[in-house]
Amino acid sequence: MFACLFQSQMLLNQLREITGIQDLQVLQSALNVCLVQQHLSMYDEYSILSVKLNNYACLCILVSFTFSDGMKRKRCEGSGESCSPADWIRQEDCPVGIRNVGNTCWFSAVIQSLFHLPVFRRLVLNYCLSERVLEKCKSHSEKRNIAFMQELRCLFALMVGSNRRFVDPSAAVELLRDAFRTSEAQQDVSEFTHKLLDWLEDAFQLAANGNNPEDKQNNPMVQLFYGTFVAERLHEGKIVSNIEQFGQYPLQVNGFNNLDECLEGAMVEGEIESLHSDQTMSSGQERWFSKLPPVLTFELSRFEFNQSLGRPEKIHKKLEFPQVIYMDRYLHKNVDQTHGRRGDVKRLKDQLTVLQQKLEGYKNYGSGPTKYPLADMLQYVVEFATTKPTNVCVTNCAYRLFSLPCLSPSKYDAGSSDGSGCPQTATQKTPIHKPFTQCRAPMEVPLQPAPHSVTEEELYFVRSCLQRWRAEVENTVNELKASIDKVSQALEGMYSDNSLCQVSYRLHAVLVHEGQASAGHYWAYIYDHANKRWLKYNDVMVTESTWEELVRDSYGGMTNASAYCLMYISDKLPYLIAGTFPLCFSDYASMMLTPAMQGVIFAIAKARQVFDKDGPEAGLIKAFHEEYSRLYELSQEETTPQQDPRLQHVLVYLFQNQAPNRVIERTLLEQFGDRNLSFDDRAVSIMREARSKIRLIKPEDMDMDEYLQWHDDYSMFKTVFAYLLTGLEQYQNGKIREALNYLAHAHQDNSVLLRKGERKGVDQSLIALYRRKCLKELNDNAATLFKSPDANDVAEAVTIMNECIIPCMHLMVRDSVSQEDLDVIELIRSCWCSYLGQDMDDSLQEKLSEFLPRVLDCSAELVVLKEPPKVRKSPHDLCSRLTAVMESIHSTSVITVK
């Protein structure tokens, strides 16, 4: 009993995380509704586990219920983090962070990198165990793994649906910590990470194949993260090979400059030339990837144990890695091709070494400790030989210098100087003035060294030899540089041709450690595939980043921050990043918490007994009848300004417009065939049954063009509603130009729908009313700007007329215009005609004459409205926005809908 109460309390706490509602009575009511719908008991341990583990839709029901009428969140209700909502409310289109609950930044980095891999996120959120498997889970490790998976699913659900800026991972982290407290003393981050992945593998193994734990062929963790490699070695003249499995592939950092060099070092150990030759000597080992996983993870060994110091140390060496890496050269199927190129690489590297050594000899020449470029040395000798000697004795010059009074030892010490090169004594306040010529060397002494004597023949011979040698040296240096560039380019392009650039992997996440081996901080850079940008996940902070920032923090070598784990994903498998669960809560709610999805879940729950007794087909028929009846009753409800039942489900729209039964039945059948219903065995069976019945519908049984036209009409209906609501929201926020554009499009598209049927569109009077309001206010604004002495204001007024007001007037005249619309049009015309009798500049008169005829005559041109931006039009979103906007229209305050 106490265990059940504890688990129910945990579930309530997690629901509070998602909704932000602090009233436990409200949340308890929601949980009770969920249990009733699932025919479960609050005090049954298995029931609570089933709610939390096997039926992900229950979480959706809970969230949906807590946001239903009568249970809406209070606007100023907090979450326990801060009194100011701005400090904890999640920003639109921004992923959530994870709270650091005590040295758990490593957990945040790992979990974020996995969560933002859409294929893995789907696996976790759709994880379920059958009742048969649950009953067989008796061991401590199995129960622990299920508990961990349960907490991870709840954490992922929070990360998808929470309105908060960050979530709390305490429950999942404590399970990991407890395992180390009870069985292992060492609490190393690498060990934590491996333990986490091991538990995930074991948990998925229970779901994949509960009868045979050893058969991991169907384990999604193995399929996603594990590959195999072939290890080959030469033993007594024969090649011995074996196949091994790998998950996170370890790579050494020391001794390598980039990721390809690391991989080459990991693939080849020792000398391998004898592996594929006639020699019978022992040799090193080669590894070749035989199967690469969809998600390829490299573990960079940046920590090593220092034997002399008796403690671990971190390797801060710089290591570069690319955004795209090609793995062809490391595959076993390309062994012959790679071997040939490795031989070429070795030959080119040897050649490059010789060339660089030769160049070094020319650049640093000499036998002493100090070396100089040889070409410069030859030039200096030429300059020395060609410097003309003088007849002045240097010794006599020196004698004269040292005999000058200003340099007499009795006249100065080393303490000061007058700035002319003559030092002063410590007590001397003014310098001793001497003739300037007495304080410097005589002008005839050469500034550069020169030979005492040289004949013309000697000078000619020496200069010609040195200049020729210098030219030879410069030519040789240039040739060496050109050869080095050529060899370097050949090395860079050795694996760049198309035959070895077929298996590409793209960088998905970089896990970074900052600090030393014994302590530090962890964060992650993760690529946002949908928006083509890098994001930095640093505990609760999620910020947009750049590749340059990632390089600075991840390559190492400059600071004590560097990457310790790289996660690449296959470029050839688009399903890896094709996310089913969007990151934005409104989008998530539109898909998982729509009234349509909730209704199907309830219908399946009501058909549980029929399903268990008579099978999937009977269960589908029962659930189909329940949902059909519910939607038909909903279609009979009265439409109010705050609520339109058609927005809740396409079938309500079809019922109200008297669509053919075949269209209604197929539409509902496809609802039951939705893949998002795969949350337990019963739902999966009903989903498959619905899909099989859809496949039985033959072309002669249904006109698909008619079917698609009905759904196109409903899509346009939602678009009209989205344009209308967006226009009203913009109008309330004072953005009149934007509002008019949306309302004009809403009116135009709605006219098309209304011609097909009265209930196919929206009430046109509401659109027309606010279109007139926008036109009048916008025209008043343009008229005021046109009178301004500022030329920019005048230009803005003309733009408003040409792009907004005149096109909208033309459309109004061409439609069946009402008297109210004609009155507004006449008001606009009178406003601008009144300017004709006023004195104005010639430039204003010219501008007025350009657009005034179009104001007066609305039949002479083609009207093209400016296309508005894309709008949100999910039914769930539109329902809540309609309520908020209409409440705002009938009150004095503006209600913002996010």
Closest CA to 648 of 64, 237, 49: 64
Same domain, 516 and 648: no
Q: For residues 815 and 287, what is the distance between their CA atoms, to the nearest angstrom?
A: 75
Same domain, 144 and 254: no
**For 548, which DSSP code?**
H
Q: Looking at the domain assignment, is residue 426 inside a domain?
A: no
Same domain, 616 and 569: no
pLDDT of residue 13: 67
Same domain, 605 and 750: yes
Same domain, 215 and 232: no
The residues that bridge with 164 in the sheet, in sequence order, are 89
User: Strand 166-167 and strand 97-98: pairing?
Assistant: parallel
Give the residue ranges of the chain where pLDDT is below 70.
1-88, 92, 130-131, 180-189, 208-215, 269-284, 305-306, 310, 389-447, 517-518, 579-595, 676, 678-680, 816, 859-865, 869-877, 890-898
What three-state secondary structure class fits 729?
A: helix
Q: Looking at the domain assignment, is residue 119 inside a domain?
A: yes
The CATH number that applies at residue 303 is 3.90.70.10
Q: Looking at the domain assignment, is residue 57 inside a domain?
A: no
Same domain, 216 and 231: no
Same domain, 214 and 234: no
Q: Which residues contact 757 (CB under 8 A, 6 or more apart)?
A: 657
Q: For residues 557 and 554, what is the distance between their CA atoms, to the nearest angstrom?
A: 9
Same domain, 212 and 239: no
Same domain, 513 and 634: no
Q: 522, 545, 576: which is the final residue of a domain?
A: 576
Cα–Cα distances (Å) from 593 to 47, 67, 79, 546, 782, in that order, read 22, 10, 22, 34, 45
Q: Check the CA dihedral 771-775-781-785 and report its sign.
A: positive
Q: Looking at the domain assignment, is residue 584 inside a domain?
A: no
Total of domains in the chain: 3
pLDDT of residue 194: 80
pLDDT of residue 550: 95
pLDDT of residue 127: 81
3-state secondary structure 431-496: CCCCCHHHHCCCCCCCCCCCCCCCCHHHHHHHHHHHHHHHHHHHHHHHHHHHHHHHHHHHHHCCCC
Reported pTM: 0.52
Q: 576, 605, 638: which is the final residue of a domain?
A: 576
Q: 568 with 122: CB under 8 angstroms?
A: no
Q: 576, 605, 634: which is the final residue of a domain?
A: 576
Same domain, 217 and 232: no
Same domain, 234 and 206: no
Residues annotated as catalytic (active site), given as ranges: 105, 521
**Backbone φ/ψ region at 863: left (φ over 0), alpha (ψ -120 to 50), beta:** beta
- The parent domain of residue 244 ranges over 227-269+284-332+503-576
Same domain, 616 and 520: no
**Backbone φ/ψ region at 557: left (φ over 0), alpha (ψ -120 to 50), beta:** left
Q: Looking at the domain assignment, is residue 676 inside a domain?
A: yes
Q: Looking at the domain assignment, is residue 352 inside a domain?
A: no
pLDDT of residue 526: 96
Q: Looking at the domain assignment, is residue 79 inside a domain?
A: no
pLDDT of residue 80: 37
Q: Looking at the domain assignment, is residue 456 inside a domain?
A: no
pLDDT of residue 390: 61
